[in-house]
Amino acid sequence: MFSRSAIAACLVSVLIQSANASDPRPNIVFIFSDDHAAHAIGAYGGLLASVNPTPNIDKLGQQGMLFSNCFCANSICGPSRASIITGKHAHANGFGQNENQFDQGQPTFPKMLQKAGYTTAMIGKWHLGSDPQGFDYWKILPGQGVYYNPDFVSPSGEERIEGHCTELITDMALEWLKNGRDKSKPFLLMCQHKAPHRNWMPQLKYLSLYNDTRIPEPDTLFDDYADNAIPARIQEMEIDRHMTLVYDLFALPPDQDPTPNLATDKSGVANLERMTPVQRKAWDDGFAKDNAAFAVAQLTGMDLVRWKYQRYMKNYLRCVRGVDDCVGELMKAIDEEGLADNTVVIYSSDQGFYLGDYGWYDKRWMYDVSMRMPLIVKWPGVTKPGSTCDLLTQNIDFAETFLDIAGLKPNADMQGVSLVPLLKGQKPADWRDALYYHYLEFPSVHMVARHYGIRTNRYKLIHFYEFGEWEFYDLQRDPEERLNQYNNPDYADTITGLKGRLEDLRKVYKDASDVSEKPADWQARYRAADKKP
Ligand code: CA
């Protein structure tokens, strides 16, 4: 005889199982890369589309919706991630600079999904300084992580794993998807790559990809920033003056010492020294012929910039290819697991990136190249295949979108808007017509001055407040932001109006941070670095 309580327990168990088996809430697979500019994705078109196929990401676009005007709130790795998981601007979540520690005590969408019955996993680059919370499973790269034989941190400690980080992260995500997750629950899988972040070390199998291709150069590769405010001229992110031959480009023979005083070059050598002898030989062999020719050529001036651009872009695009492979492998596994009909797949990256545009690499600026994020969403039965949404969207919207997909309400203090109506093909009449942006890390690596601003569908106004300088662009007439029109009297009324709207946005988002001007102090300090033509 079974006892009454045993029968009751059995019934409860059956009820829970049947409830979970029929739980209609969609699974969410968030594939996220680092520094993958939209203009290095085939589906976004542009200069590189002809040489840079991203077949798996493009296919996702063909099956889902591509957001052509998605932007970050602060164009740098950690802050973008913090905005994504909290649904808040940096001043509101406390994570405005990469060296900050994320306060894990605050509400995040993974925590809320987990509490609501999702099983959750975070694999790869986390970059928030403190251990993840809200995940049933997590395994992350410490800090920025490294490309070859990376360390991974999990609740059980730290271990070094042999291989390339893009392949390792993909394999861990596949393993969790197939065998690791609680299959009685809907799931959230965050698969977050280091690639194609600096210092752009591709998988060995892609070292010769693009060897016979000349990557087209952007028109602005030799920009002199003559029309810009001072900050564009005192930055330290030029391919010409700041990209290093060893750390960034692996352009010296392997037996030669790196430039003695460049800390970056020394850390680049440390990256190479992590390789196994077999990996290292294949790596050195892959660049040997080109490096020998480079040593003989003794390039200078514009020729040297052009050579650096080619090496940089080839390695960057090789890293992109590895990420694209991951998208394909995850899509295949989702199919094989019978999950395709009820799984939302998202591809995005934390910000844009300069691919020689304006002569630069890196990000940080409010200019579109670095502010724009790729965002492609496939939601079977909801997103119209091959559709595009051009409404203004931002990374602070992601958390509320994922909660909405799961049928959950956002926290009252989240600052974004759910994109679910847009995913359904709606164009709400009251959709936002302006975005707020604030970059905070200065003085710091790459020396991009603090700035905040407003971007509407047509205009952009940027305030480099410490320098007491402004920039203004008419994006309709000048989509590449090549001519700062702040002092053009024809735009005076427009600029006055935008200044008012910018102050309104600061109130709406409750950004009370100090943006006072200190032009005498700051301009004097950096005047020597200003190479105004
Ligand atoms: Ca990044």
For 154-163, the CB contacts below 8 A with 24+ separation are 155/131, 162/276
DSSP class of 75: B
Range of the domain at 227: 209-311
Look at residue 47 and tell me if it is in a domain: no
State both tokens at 179: 């065998």
Total-model pTM: 0.95
Phi, psi of 301 (to 5 degrees): 55, -135
351 CA to centre of ligand 1 in angstroms: 6
Could you say which of 292, 311, 330 is where a domain stops?
A: 311
Place of tokens 């956002």: 410
Look at residue 256 and tell me if it is in a domain: yes
357 CA to centre of ligand 1 in angstroms: 17
Amino acid at 334: I
Instruction: Give the integer Cα–Cα distance in Å for 56 and 451.
Output: 36
192 CA to centre of ligand 1 in angstroms: 11
Question: Given this model, what pLDDT does residue 52 score?
Answer: 87
> Coil, strand, or helix at residue 252?
coil
- Three-state SS string across 83-104, please? HHHHCCCHHHHCCCCCCCCCCC
Q: Which residues does residue 70 pair with via DSSP β-bridges, in sequence order?
A: 393
CA distances from 320 to 8, 69, 135, 200, 397 (A): 54, 21, 27, 9, 25
State both tokens at 286: 């892959």
197 CA to centre of ligand 1 in angstroms: 7
Could you say which of 276, 311, 346 is where a domain stops?
A: 311
Instruction: Give the integer Cα–Cα distance in Å for 426 and 512.
Output: 34
Q: Going along 57-197, which residue ranges are E strands?
A: 65-67, 70-71, 119-125, 137-141, 151-154, 157-160, 187-192
Could you say which of 288, 311, 334 is where a domain stops?
A: 311
Instruction: Give the integer Cα–Cα distance in Å for 493 and 473.
Output: 14
215 CA to centre of ligand 1 in angstroms: 23
Asked whether 227 and 478 are in contact (CB, 8 A), the reply is no
121 CA to centre of ligand 1 in angstroms: 21
Question: Given this model, what pLDDT does residue 268 score?
Answer: 83
Instruction: Give the integer Cα–Cα distance in Å for 171 and 498.
Output: 48
Instruction: Give the integer Cα–Cα distance in Å for 486 and 477.
Output: 14
State both tokens at 422: 């847009």
272 CA to centre of ligand 1 in angstroms: 22
73 CA to centre of ligand 1 in angstroms: 13
440 CA to centre of ligand 1 in angstroms: 15
DSSP class of 438: E
Instruction: Give the integer Cα–Cα distance in Å for 369 and 473.
Output: 14
Residue closest to 333 by CA, chosen among 492, 191, 161, 515: 191
448 CA to centre of ligand 1 in angstroms: 15
**In this structure, what CATH number is given to the domain that contains residue 476?**
3.30.1120.10
Question: Given this model, what pLDDT does residue 253 score?
Answer: 63
Look at residue 389 and tell me if it is in a domain: no
391 CA to centre of ligand 1 in angstroms: 23
429 CA to centre of ligand 1 in angstroms: 33
Look at residue 141 and tell me if it is in a domain: no
Task: Specify burial of residue 83 (Cβ count, 10 A radius: 0-12, 13-18, 19+).
Answer: buried
List the chain residues with pLDDT less than 50. Answer: 1-2, 8-20
Asked whether 339 and 380 are in contact (CB, 8 A), the reply is no
296 CA to centre of ligand 1 in angstroms: 35
Place of tokens 């649904």: 87
**Helix H or strand E encompassing 272:** helix 263-273
109 CA to centre of ligand 1 in angstroms: 20
For the sheet containing 434-439, what is the strand order?
434-439, 451-456, 459-464, 469-474
> Coil, strand, or helix at residue 242?
coil
35 CA to centre of ligand 1 in angstroms: 4
Look at residue 305 and tell me if it is in a domain: yes
DSSP class of 108: -
Amino acid at 352: G
| Number of domains, the chain | 2
Q: Which residues does residue 191 pair with via DSSP β-bridges, in sequence order?
A: 31, 123
Q: Going along 338-379, which residue ranges are E strands?
A: 343-349, 375-378
504 CA to centre of ligand 1 in angstroms: 29
Task: Specify burial of residue 5 (Cβ count, 10 A radius: 0-12, 13-18, 19+).
Answer: exposed
Count the helices and strands in the chain (H runs, E runs).
15, 16
Look at residue 377 and tell me if it is in a domain: no
**Helix H or strand E encompassing 5:** helix 4-21
Peptide bond into 231 cis (omega under 30): no
Look at residue 246 and tell me if it is in a domain: yes
For the sheet containing 65-67, what is the strand order?
157-160, 151-154, 137-141, 119-125, 187-192, 27-33, 343-349, 375-378, 65-67, 387-389
Backbone φ/ψ region at 117: left (φ over 0), alpha (ψ -120 to 50), beta: left
State both tokens at 25: 């809430």
Longest CA pairwise span in the chain (Å)? 93
144 CA to centre of ligand 1 in angstroms: 10
496 CA to centre of ligand 1 in angstroms: 33
Phi, psi of 309 (to 5 degrees): -60, -45
State both tokens at 416: 């974004």
Question: Given this model, what pLDDT does residue 20 score?
Answer: 44
117 CA to centre of ligand 1 in angstroms: 31
Question: Residue 122's Cα: distance from chain center in Å?
Answer: 16
515 CA to centre of ligand 1 in angstroms: 25
158 CA to centre of ligand 1 in angstroms: 23
425 CA to centre of ligand 1 in angstroms: 29
347 CA to centre of ligand 1 in angstroms: 14
Look at residue 294 and tell me if it is in a domain: yes
DSSP class of 397: G
76 CA to centre of ligand 1 in angstroms: 5
> Coil, strand, or helix at residue 137?
strand
323 CA to centre of ligand 1 in angstroms: 14
350 CA to centre of ligand 1 in angstroms: 5
DSSP class of 244: -
Q: Which is it for strands 387-389 and 434-439: parallel, antiparallel or unpaired?
A: unpaired
> Coil, strand, or helix at residue 310?
helix
Question: Residue 284's Cα: distance from chain center in Å?
Answer: 29
Asked whether 285 and 204 are in contact (CB, 8 A), the reply is no
